[in-house]
Amino acid sequence: MWTTFLTTIKVNLREKSNLLWLFIFPILMASLFWGMFSGLTNRQIQAQNFAVVHDSNWSTVAGADSLVNALAGKNTNGTKLIRPTTVSSVSAAKKRVQAGHDSGYLFVNDVGSFGIAISDDLYNEFTNNMSSSTASITVSSLRSIITQFNHSQTTLKTLAASHPTASTQGQTQTRQQAQLQIQAQLERYIAASTASAKLSYTRNRSLTNFAPDQFARYYYALLGMVSMMSMSFAITSISTAQANLSAVGARRSIAPLPKWRQFSAILLASWLTSFLSLVVSFCYIRFVCNIAVGGREPLAILALLIASFTATAFGLLIGAIPRLSRGAKTGISTAIACFGALFAGLYGSFAMSLSDSISRNIPTFDLFNPVKQVSNLFYDLLYYDSLQPFMTTVGILLITGAICMTLAISLMRRRSYANL
């Protein structure tokens, strides 16, 4: 039995198609996801060198120095948008930009409004690569903050013009209060380091102890598909053991080793190789792509063990189907994995929306989709504090695997050959 076990492992790991689709393909797909999503999830504001024009117009704007200090991170939690350099005129600022010392400059125009000018290189980067460039994100944030500041200044001027009889002391107090509010808004915005070009008055809060990556679902939908593709290990092993499909199977059928021991060896070997392929994919997703599971890595390994068992049981059932070639059986397993991945949300936002819609409106349908159930194992770890949803999904997969295993054993026990 153990000789059959070791031989089956060697056969599975030497199969080139298995190595390609179950070890290399998941890593390539995860790398593709990482390349696509990293520019969206890791957007950070990066401070840029800016000249600040302190000319005669500068002193006409109350709070101008406070604004620059906020942008430079002096009044926030270390977060900053600019590294300012004070100059005396616009022409001096232009010279610094042309020389490459600064990315742009801040100034106050003749009507008392803040303005921003940026270099040609930064402008091209801002217009052509706004979604992923850290410099362009900084420029977008600067523009939004300055616009907000100018609007506030306009409000203060309108307020002063509408109360011409108000005392100078009252106007000063009103202006100071408004300026404090502006300063507080700017500090909250800059400290948040958001990539949005608009000011946000809301904060993201997680309802659980762990806030997962927003694109983690795609990685674990991929893992669900790969788990079902690993059925090919069991299909290869069980097909090799059938006398009408393999010369090795013909020799095994007349060997003194009982069928139940042969079947047990095939089950254990296929389960182990399937589990190994999933562990490799998971480790790459977890430690290279940095998709965390909230400190529940041991439970994630248990999930892989359960997923590989169900996939192996499915593979044994498909492999035990009589009168089908090994290639046809492998094709069936691939079709199941790819079709199931559609309803698990692997193929983009439309597929993910379809998956969510089915889960809300036809949850029973998900029970017949093993790819979705394997993905749910990781969703349960990511999105729930309680382990009850996880254990429920584990139970569904174990029952599914047990049913497939029973049917496979029934088909193999009744197998006989008129001649070899």
Q: Write out the DSSP string of 17-75.
A: HHHIIIIIHHHHHHHHHHHHHHHHHS-----EEEEEE-STTGGGSTTHHHHHHHHTTTT
Domain with 301 in it: 2-39+209-413
Query: What is the amino acid identity at position 266?
Result: I
Whether 420 is in a domain gets the answer: no
Whether 203 is in a domain gets the answer: no
How far is it, in rounded angstroms, from Cα 169 to Cα 315?
84
Mention every residue, 6+ apart, whose C-beta is less than 8 A from residue 109.
Answer: 57, 115
Whether 134 is in a domain gets the answer: yes
Phi then psi dihedrals of residue 52, to 5 deg = -120, 120
Whether 200 is in a domain gets the answer: no
Q: In terms of domains, do 316 and 182 share one?
A: no
Give DSSP secondary structure letters for 124-161: HHHHHSTTT-HHHHHHHHHHHHHHHHHHHHHHHHHHHH
- Buried b / exposed e over 212-228, threshold 16 CB at 10 Å, is beebbbbbbbbbbbbbb
How far is it, in rounded angstroms, from Cα 74 to Cα 84?
11
Tens digits of residue pLDDT in 331-349? 999 999 999 999 999 998 8
Q: In terms of domains, do 279 and 385 share one?
A: yes
Q: In terms of domains, do 129 and 149 share one?
A: yes
Q: In terms of domains, do 86 and 25 share one?
A: no
Phi then psi dihedrals of residue 114, to 5 deg = -70, 145
Whether 418 is in a domain gets the answer: no
Mention every residue, 6+ apart, whose C-beta is less than 8 A from residue 157.
Answer: none
How far is it, in rounded angstroms, from Cα 303 to Cα 246?
34
Q: In terms of domains, do 22 and 77 share one?
A: no
Listed residue (188, 189, 178, 207) closest to 138, CA to CA? 189
Whether 370 is in a domain gets the answer: yes
Whether 398 is in a domain gets the answer: yes
Q: What is the pLDDT, as a whole number, of residue 418?
A: 47
How far is it, in rounded angstroms, from Cα 268 to Cα 95?
73
**Domain edge (last residue) among 158, 192, 226:** 192
Q: In terms of domains, do 254 and 113 share one?
A: no
Q: What is the pLDDT, as a whole number, of residue 249?
A: 55
Coil vs helix vs strand at 115: strand
**Domain edge (last residue) among 192, 220, 241:** 192
How far is it, in rounded angstroms, from Cα 43 to Cα 56?
37
User: Measured between alpha carbons, how far apart are the two ends of the chain, in Å?
Assistant: 23
**Domain edge (last residue) among 192, 219, 249:** 192
Q: Could you tell me how far CA 268 lies from the centroid of its own chain?
A: 33
Listed residue (241, 275, 326, 266) closest to 8, CA to CA? 266
Q: In terms of domains, do 120 and 159 share one?
A: yes
Tens digits of residue pLDDT in 356-388? 999 999 999 999 999 999 999 999 998 888 899
Q: In terms of domains, do 69 and 13 share one?
A: no
Q: In terms of domains, do 223 and 99 share one?
A: no
How far is it, in rounded angstroms, from Cα 7 to Cα 269?
9
Q: In terms of domains, do 148 and 219 share one?
A: no
Q: In terms of domains, do 23 and 53 share one?
A: no
Counted domains in the chain: 2
- In this prediction the pTM is 0.64
Q: In terms of domains, do 216 and 114 share one?
A: no
pLDDT < 50 positions in the chain: 42, 130-132, 166-169, 189, 192-202, 417-420
How far is it, in rounded angstroms, from Cα 367 to Cα 362?
10
How far is it, in rounded angstroms, from Cα 103 to Cα 100?
7
Whether 199 is in a domain gets the answer: no
How far is it, in rounded angstroms, from Cα 339 to Cα 345?
11
